[in-house]
Amino acid sequence: MPDLEAISELRIILREMERDVGLDCLSRTERDVYLAARQLSKLNGSVVNSDEIRHHVLVRDIPQATFYRSLRALINKSLLQHAEGWRAKNYTVQHLHASPSERVLSALA
């Protein structure tokens, strides 16, 4: 089955890329919510709304409770922050610390 072999190779490459940029510190759901928010923030400017994130193709099939747990986890990890000057449900996306040493330093701060 050549299609499955290609998918397997792509998954390996994707996992390596995720590790290289620091996404390996997130759960699968957190990773999808973060990537959706990041993509939307690039399209819509710096602020993204949780309803927009919720309807993104990467996360729209995630159960609502799981989505909000992941959103809260990303806030606790300082990867999303409540947007200043906006009402609730609006966030700014923060950058990941890609290298292991940057992640350690960030955790110690």
**pLDDT value at residue 95:** 81
Angle, to 10 degrees, between the axis of helix 64-76 and the axis of helix 28-44? 80
Q: Is 80 exposed, middle or buried (0-12, 13-18, 19+ CB in 10 A)?
A: buried
- Range of the structural domain that residue 59 is part of: 2-108
The C-alpha angle 101, 38, 69, rounded to 5 degrees, equals 85
Specify the pTM.
0.81
CATH number where 41 lies: 1.10.10.10
Q: How many domains does the structure of the chain reveal?
A: 1
**pLDDT value at residue 102:** 55
**pLDDT value at residue 42:** 84
Q: Is 83 helix (H, G, I), strand (E, B) or coil?
A: coil
Distance of CA 29 to the CA centre of its chain: 8
The one-digit pLDDT tens for each residue of the chain (109 residues) are: 568 999 999 999 999 999 988 899 999 999 999 999 999 998 766 899 999 999 999 999 999 999 999 999 999 999 999 998 887 899 999 887 655 545 444 544 4
